[in-house]
Each structure stands twice: as structure tokens, then as C-alpha cells.
Amino acid sequence: MQGDGHEGIGGLIAGVQGQFRGFRFALKGTPDGFADTIRFSWALGPEGVESVIEGTDVGLIENGRLKQVTGFLDKVPAQ
């Protein structure tokens, strides 16, 4: 998946939430970073129960703005 700018990223999130109705994104832990790179982990699932999907994203900052995010899925449901 790829999204550019606020609208593109918002569209990606809306697409995931449309596919997984009733699920919510939650930040896991505290984001950290070094120089121009930030890393954060997230969970996706119904509120109040264990998450179904989890991931870690790495972002690149340029001129104080988020330029790029590469995401990794750490936990996915069995097929």
C-alpha cells in the first residue's frame, strides 16, 4: 500500500478501518528515533481485547516533516 500526503495516508487508514470494522489502531510503547529516522509500533483490533494485527513502522523525517513510512507486520492472523 502507498499513500502520499495527508489525504493519501488518511485514505490508507480509512481503507484498513473499512476492511476491519470496529477495530482501532493503538500505539504500542513509546516512539523512538535517531537523527532523521523514527520508529513506532502499533496494534489493531477491537477495543478491550487482545490485538489481532500488530506492526512496526519506520519513518523518515525531512525538513521537520514526515517524508516516508515503511511498515512491517509483526503479528497477523493465521489464514
Tell me whether residue 47 is in a domain.
yes
CATH of the domain at 62: 3.10.450.50
Between 2 and 36, residue with greater pLDDT = 36
- Considering the domain boundaries, does residue 32 fall inside one? yes
Q: What is the mean pLDDT of the chain?
A: 89
Q: How far apart are CA 2 and CA 11, in angstroms?
A: 10
| pLDDT at 1 exceeding the cut of 70 | no
**Full-model pTM:** 0.81
Domain hosting residue 39, numbered range: 22-75
19-45 tens-digit pLDDT:
888 899 999 999 999 999 999 999 999
Instruction: Write the CB contacts of 9 (distance below 8 Å, at least 6 apart in sequence).
Output: 3, 69
pLDDT in tens, 55-69: 999 989 999 988 888
Query: Do residues 33 and 48 touch, judged by C-beta distance below 8 A?
Result: no
Tally the domains of the chain: 1
